[in-house]
Amino acid sequence: MTKGQPIDSHQQVGKPLKINKLFKTLVAAEASDLHLKVGLPPKMRISGNLKTTNAEPLSEEVMEDLIFELLTPKQKEFFMEHGAIDFAHALTDIDRFRVNVFRQKGYIGLVARRIDSRIPPFEKLNLPEIIGDLSDAAYGLVLVVGPTGSGKSTTIASMIDRINRNRACHIVTIEDPIEYLHRDRKAIVNQREVGIDCVDFKEALRSLMRQDPDVVLVGEIRDLETLEAAMKAAETGHLVFGTLHASNAAQTIQRILDMFPQEERDLARQTFALCVRAIISQQLLKGIQSHAKRVPAIEIMIGSPIVRKLLSEERESDIPSVIKSSQNEGMQDFTESLRDLIERELIDLDTALMYAPNKEELKMALKGIRATSGAIL
């Protein structure tokens, strides 16, 4: 949500809006995204591909009618001033949407991401067992990274749901917007939505430690202030989850360090080395099974003693080799993940080769030959 957006009440669930017909169609088609643009029929992303609906092209008048009915007066005022606005919209208690309304070439456009509030269990997500084990950690920073639409939020929601079901603790989430709804089970879960329950991340983070949390979700780490709050919470004995846009562990580490001013990076490096529990990097791939239409390929870096040592010694370039050679510790690289998905018949070879960091290495792995790396001291 753009900083400074107004705090508004949730839209009434079930409120009869014209645009809800499109949202219902999205749910029925099991699509992930809705795209509305003046001059084109509505489009939906299904299994990763944009598909055109049978509806008529949207006129400027129809688009304004659909959008302005969806916005509250404060939201409309903000949109007219800034040209873009993010918010959550609830069709039912279960079907929710993360909506971005924007202007382009003088016209209004809309993109909505469907959020299925039913949290899928680990076994249905085809996640490695180690990710469940990381949910049981007492403290540390767990980052789930990947491009937009890679399933980061779903993975974290599943981890938090596991904690909620198994630990008597206090979970606090700061989200923009709330995606998955967690019901109190063994844990107490308090979910704060930016723009509704607090003005911005800064205010929510300032009061976080006064809320006696055990587990914290800070949502997407977009700036230094959020990163410092997450690291401080992890360093002081809390289990902290966050997301970041990065393609792998090495890029994540670089982006983390780049957020700090040059004169503070040495201390930041040492702090990050001490508090990092894991970096989970994932991409969603097209599946070939009816029960798994999208499956995650996952790289996992665990904050083991050797990883912490390399981080503190500015030798993060050696970390990919450690990941590759430490599968018995729960780590895995993308090549190993792709090999596993092929052997489990969840993806086909063409898809795996398309996403493989090194095609020849993957072909060798499928023949039982794994590239080895030198010892890291």
* pLDDT, position 6: 55
pLDDT at residue 203, rounded to an integer: 86
Question: Residue 178 has what pLDDT?
Answer: 82
Which pLDDT value is given to residue 131? 94
- Which segments of the chain have a pLDDT < 50? 1-2, 7, 9-10, 12-14, 375
Structural domains of the chain, with CATH: 20-116 (3.30.450.90), 122-366 (3.40.50.300)
Q: What is residue 15's predicted lDDT score, i.e. its pLDDT?
A: 60
The pLDDT score that the predictor gives to residue 284 is: 94
- pLDDT, tens only, 96-154: 888 999 999 999 999 998 876 778 877 789 999 999 999 999 999 999 999 988 999 99
The predicted structure's pLDDT at residue 47: 81
Rounded to two decimals, the pTM is: 0.81
pLDDT of residue 177: 76
| Residue 194 near residue 200 (C-beta atoms within 8 A) | yes
